[in-house]
Copies of this chain bind each other. A is one copy, B any other.
Amino acid sequence: MRIFGEIKGISPGDLFDNREALAKAKVHLPLVAGISGGKHEGADSIVLSGGYEDDEDFGNIIIYTGAGGQKNGKQIFDQELDSVNLALAKSKIENLPVRVTRGHKHKHDLSPKKGYQYAGLFKVEDYWYETGKSGFKIWRFRLVAQEIFTSETVIGEPNGVYDAPGRKPSTGDRIVRNYQKAKNVKSWHNYQCQVCGLAIETSAGLYAEAAHIKPLGKPHNGPDIESNILCLCPNHHVMFDNGGFAIKDSLELIGIKGRLRVVKKHCIDIDFIRYHREHYLKNA
């Protein structure tokens, strides 16, 4: 059975001589493949070993390239969202932790000088495709470092954790959103989803979500402005962020029926719509 989460007795920072040692410790079972996972279960582990020219490693944010279409570190044909790539996407929608290990061939300050070093648990927060350095389609995965937890169940919180006032952010990779701009867009649409027209009713009033069209954060760096925000119900927000549908320049929807609902006040930038369509819709 595939183990998701920490392996008992293994801590971030632990070193391994080679892939065999890494497999024996159950951190990463495949001896060659960079991604360990099944397309139905999700991916449990990846190794960064310098094999992919498009990988980007910011320490606690990693932009990881999917598998396939590759020879001697060069992309020679298109990658598909299948097999272990689909496993990594599945880890996103199932919110599963992924173990990350850096190898000595992965050029980075955080890589070990020899062998392999386990870095800890990450979550897949985004997946999309783009044209890589070689001109072929690659799938990419944004992995973000998590706080440390074990694979055993921990219910509730540890008791009595007191922080001194003035404590600093732990990772600094939090994306801060402008709630006023989000609220403007939601108000303009009366909290009705721009796809289905539904406004979610709660005991605190109507609820809607502000969905960024071109995502915030690395590597997309979409802006946090009204023309890059849609007002969506949670269901259509999940679909929009995970390739369930996209939007044509004409505002007709692709993948599902209908047309994006618009209001005069809310100007939507077609460049962002296009960016989303060209990076998230699987069979565009």
Contacts and interface: CB of A to CB of B under 8 A. Distances in A.
Contact of A235 (B4, B178, B234): B234
A115 to B, nearest CB: 14
A1 B253 CA distance: 38
Contact of A117 (B12, B159, B165): B165
Q: Which of A147, A165, A168, A244 counts the most B-chain CB atoms under 10 A from its CB?
A: A165
A162 B110 contact: yes
A86 B204 contact: yes
Interface string A158-199: 111111111111111111101111010000000000000010
For the residues of A in contact with B, the DSSP-based class is loop
Given A205-B93, A223-B155, A161 B165 contact: no
A12 B127 CA distance: 36
Interface in A111-170: 117-120, 127, 145, 147-150, 153-170
A214 to B, nearest CB: 12
Contact of A90 (B159, B205, B239, B282): B205
7 contacts: A58-B162, A95-B179, A149-B176, A203-B280, A233-B235, A234-B238, A235-B235
Interface of A: 4-5, 11-13, 58-61, 81, 86, 89-90, 92-97, 109-110, 117-120, 127, 145, 147-150, 153-176, 178-181, 183, 198, 200-205, 207, 216-218, 221, 223-224, 233-235, 237-239, 242-244, 280-282
